[in-house]
A and B are shown apart, each in its own frame.
Chain A
Amino acid sequence: DVKVTQSSRYLVKRTGEKVFLECVQDMDHENMFWYRQDPGLGLRLIYFSYDVKMKEKGDIPEGYSVSREKKERFSLILESASTNQTSMYLCASSSPIRPARGGYTFGSGTRLTVV
Chain B
Amino acid sequence: AQRVTQPEKLLSVFKGAPVELKCNYSYSGSPELFWYVQYSRQRLQLLLRHISRESIKGFTADLNKGETSFHLKKPFAQEEDSAMYYCALSLTGGGNKLTFGTGTQLKVEL
Residues of chain A whose beta carbon lies under 8 Å from any beta carbon of chain B: 31, 33, 35, 40-45, 48, 50, 58, 90, 92, 94, 96, 99, 101-104, 106-109
Closest to B90 in A: A102
Cα A31 to Cα B97 with chains together (Å): 9
Q: Are B43 and A109 in contact (CB under 8 A)?
A: yes
Closest 6 CB pairs of A and B: A42-B102, A43-B100, A106-B44, A102-B90, A42-B100, A101-B96
B49 within 8 A of A: yes
Q: Are A102 and B49 in contact (CB under 8 A)?
A: yes
Q: Are A31 and B43 in contact (CB under 8 A)?
A: no
Residues of chain B whose beta carbon lies under 8 Å from any beta carbon of chain A: 6, 9, 32, 34, 36, 43-46, 49, 51-52, 86, 88, 90, 95-103
Q: Are B9 and A40 in contact (CB under 8 A)?
A: yes
Cα A35 to Cα B98 with chains together (Å): 10
**Which of B46, B96, B103 sits near A42, CB closer than 8 Å?**
B103
Q: Are A31 and B96 in contact (CB under 8 A)?
A: yes
Q: Are B102 and A40 in contact (CB under 8 A)?
A: yes
* CB pairs A–B below 8 angstroms (16 shown): A31-B96, A33-B97, A40-B9, A42-B86, A42-B101, A42-B103, A43-B44, A43-B100, A58-B97, A90-B44, A99-B49, A102-B49, A102-B90, A102-B98, A104-B36, A106-B43
Closest to A59 in B: B99
- In the assembled complex, the CB of B47 is this many whole angstroms from the nearest CB of chain A, namely 10
**Which of B52, B98, B103 sits near A104, CB closer than 8 Å?**
B98
Which residues of B lie under 8 Å from residue A104 when comparing CB positions? 36, 44, 46, 98
Q: Are B95 and A106 in contact (CB under 8 A)?
A: no
